[in-house]
Structure 1
Amino acid sequence: MHRWSSLDDVPADLGPTVATLGNFDGVHRGHQAVLGTVVDLAAGRGLAAVAVTFNPHPVAVLHPERAPEAIVGLEHRLALLEKLGLDGVVVIEFTREYAQLSPEDFVVQTFVEGLRAQVVVVGQDTRFGLHNTGDVGTMTELGERHGFEVVVQQTEGEFERGRRTWSSTALREALASGDMATATEILDREHRVSGEVVHGHHRGRELGYPTANLSTRSEGMIPADGVYAGWLERPALPVEHPDRRLPAAISVGTNPTFDDVVRRTVEAYVLDRLDLDLYGELVWVDFVERLRGNVRFESVETLMEQMAQDVDRTRALLA
């Protein structure tokens, strides 16, 4: 998959395209439905399948005080888009100046001139242009005016608790409450946080449960405080390596039993492994299920008893 940092970088010989646009934060099932339609239409017509996305998130530029936390980092987002079979992704730097484009100017610049789109696929809640005044109806009118077809893809799915739209908002709500079952359902995969393993207080090692502590510069939305069952993956190792993907009990939060942790941390204890040296290594932490919330224990002994139970439950869940 080609990655272009502006429309000017798109090669002239790319040819006509089937294209779409979106932030694609999380690349959840709603996004996958739209992007899958792009790929299928492009394959059927012999065209290139291209997505346009933005970095940073538009709200982070226009209203930073209420900007949503990124569900995935840019590199993870691009890797997920690549897996869906796109031929290329244009990552447009979103600025206040760029936000002033009218819906028509945005469409002409992006799809008519930049990508020579024959088809533009949009989700039913797509918005674009100055003050988000462009919508599906606007795109359809502009398609008729400028000679491209518009396909509207439904992004609703059957949730366990009824029919809802697959959305980044619903996904953030699930992560913020530690509801990993719903998050996994929306994503169609486990939620991931990635970061470099750094030195912490080494308290886990002292208690017999050495943890890989992720840097505070980790990428991916950190779910609600608590203890989780999940996986620690080491992307530097070959896929077939036995230590590539390892079962882990994961702690998120400030560790309330001790008073010297002031920032939320993500720590992963790889089950039954005391031999790993992961410092300085980039790892992925995938969350499967929340076991419990954080509790302040009266003694270290009580904490250790609970940690043993957490490890046992994690082992059973991941078996």
Structure 2
Amino acid sequence: MQRWDDLSDVGPGFGPSVVTIGNFDGVHRGHAAVLGEVVGLARDRGLAAVAVTFDPHPLQVLHPERAPGLLTGLEHRLDLLAGAGLDAVLVMPFTRELAAWSPERFVRDVFVDALRARVVVVGHDVRFGEGNSGDLATMQELGARWGFEVRVLQDLGDRDDAPRWSSTAVRAALAAGEVDRAARMLGHPHRVTSTVVHGDHRGRELGYPTANLDTDGAEGLVPADGVYAGWLTRPGGERLAAAVSIGTNPTFDGVRRQVEAFCLDQEGRPGGLDLYGERVDLDLVARLRPTLRFDGVEALVEQMERDVARCRELLLGPSAEGPAPR
């Protein structure tokens, strides 16, 4: 997939194309339906399939106090967009200057002049241009003026998880710790990415050495406090089953919120598993329980043993065996 980080990066003569536009935070199943329509039309007509997105999120620039916690960092978002089969993505740096473009200028400069759009695929609630003054009717009017077709997709969802798949619905699920429901709406596990840093080393003292993620530099919304089963992926691609604790460690009167991952199988690694300084991906699969305060270390360790056993069963199957490294 070709990536452009500015409108000026699009070469002369690109296209013609089928285009869509959006923030695509999380690249959930609703986004996937739009992207599938773009790619399908492009293949049928011999055109290029393109998505236009923004970085940073517009609200982070215009109304930072209202900006949502993002589900995906830019690189993960682009990986997911590439997986949809797009030929190219235009990442437009979102600034106050861009926000002031009229709907007409945006469509002319981006869709018509740069991408030579023949079809534009949007949802019925599309908004664009200064003050979000452009809507579906505006897009259809501009399409008629400049010679591109507008395809409109209706909202998609399901009865059990959300009547409308949306980034907002996914954030609500994560705020409740429902990472399995979030994954069903996303079509993939929710991911938190960050660098492994030194913590208080308490886990090692308890026999469960953990990788502590830098929460300040994390990409991907950190879900509600609790214990989770998930997969930790190292920069080289090694994937490790993990029990993940998110919270303040109330048994030890902790204050700072932490994300700690204990990788289940560390046998055969002299000196243990050294992840310090690595930027890792943490894909969360299921929430086992909320964060609890225990009466003492012994009760905590007993519960950790149960948590690790449950993670092993969920991630590796009921027949998986192996003691937790101590």
> What is the TM-score of this pair, normalised by structure 2?
0.92
Q: Which structure 2 residues correspond to residues 141-156 of structure 1 after superposition, within 5 A?
A: 141-156=141-156
Describe the superposition over 1:60-114 as per-residue Cα deviations: whole angstroms up to 9, x where unpaired. Answer: 1111111001111001111111111111111111111111112222111111112
Per the alignment, residue 91 of structure 1 pairs with 91
One-letter amino acid of the structure 1 residue matched with residue 294 of structure 2: F
Q: What SS does structure 2 have at the residue aligned with 1:13?
A: coil
CA distance in 1, matches of 2:109, 2:287: 46
Q: What SS does structure 2 have at the residue aligned with 1:164?
A: coil
Per the alignment, residue 165 of structure 1 pairs with 164
Paired residues of 2:14 and 2:114 also in contact (CA < 8 A): no
CA distance in 2, matches of 1:48, 1:35: 12
Per the alignment, residue 137 of structure 1 pairs with 137
CA distance in 2, matches of 1:15, 1:66: 37
Residue 250 of structure 1 and its aligned partner are, at CA, apart by: 0.4
CA distance in 1, matches of 2:124, 2:266: 48
Residue 137 of structure 1 and its aligned partner are, at CA, apart by: 2.0
**Is 1:302 equivalent to 2:299 in the alignment?**
yes
Paired residues of 1:212 and 1:268 also in contact (CA < 8 A): yes
One-letter amino acid of the structure 2 residue matched with residue 256 of structure 1: P
Residue 13 of structure 1 and its aligned partner are, at CA, apart by: 3.1
Segments of 5+ residues of structure 2 without an aligned counterpart are 318-326
CA distance in 2, matches of 1:317, 1:117: 46
CA distance in 2, matches of 1:262, 1:58: 32
Number of positions where the alignment pairs a residue of Structure 1 with one of Structure 2: 311
Residue 206 of structure 1 and its aligned partner are, at CA, apart by: 0.7
CA distance in 2, matches of 1:72, 1:26: 5
Residue 159 of structure 1 and its aligned partner are, at CA, apart by: 3.6
Residue 279 of structure 1 and its aligned partner are, at CA, apart by: 1.2
CA RMSD of aligned residues (A): 1.3
**Is 1:249 equivalent to 2:243 in the alignment?**
yes
CA distance in 1, matches of 2:249, 2:14: 53
Q: What SS does structure 2 have at the residue aligned with 1:157?
A: coil
Paired residues of 1:112 and 1:146 also in contact (CA < 8 A): yes
CA distance in 1, matches of 2:265, 2:116: 55
Residue 313 of structure 1 and its aligned partner are, at CA, apart by: 1.3
> What is the TM-score of this pair, normalised by structure 1?
0.94
One-letter amino acid of the structure 2 residue matched with residue 302 of structure 1: A
Segments of 5+ residues of structure 1 without an aligned counterpart are 238-243
CA distance in 2, matches of 1:105, 1:262: 50
Q: What SS does structure 1 have at the residue aligned with 2:76?
A: helix
Residue 248 of structure 1 and its aligned partner are, at CA, apart by: 0.8
Paired residues of 1:192 and 1:285 also in contact (CA < 8 A): yes
Higher mean C-alpha deviation, range 149-158 or range 71-80: 149-158
Paired residues of 1:119 and 1:150 also in contact (CA < 8 A): yes
Per the alignment, residue 266 of structure 2 pairs with 273
One-letter amino acid of the structure 2 residue matched with residue 194 of structure 1: T
Per the alignment, residue 15 of structure 1 pairs with 15
Paired residues of 1:123 and 1:154 also in contact (CA < 8 A): yes
Paired residues of 1:231 and 1:286 also in contact (CA < 8 A): yes
Paired residues of 1:29 and 1:155 also in contact (CA < 8 A): no
Per the alignment, residue 185 of structure 1 pairs with 184
Per the alignment, residue 263 of structure 1 pairs with 256
Q: What SS does structure 1 have at the residue aligned with 2:200?
A: coil
Give every structure 1 segment of 4 or more consecutive aligned residues whose post-TM-superposition deviation is greater than 3 Å: none
1:285 alignment partner, one of 249, 273, 282: 282
The percentage of aligned residue pairs carrying the same residue is 63
Per the alignment, residue 309 of structure 2 pairs with 312
Paired residues of 2:235 and 2:278 also in contact (CA < 8 A): no
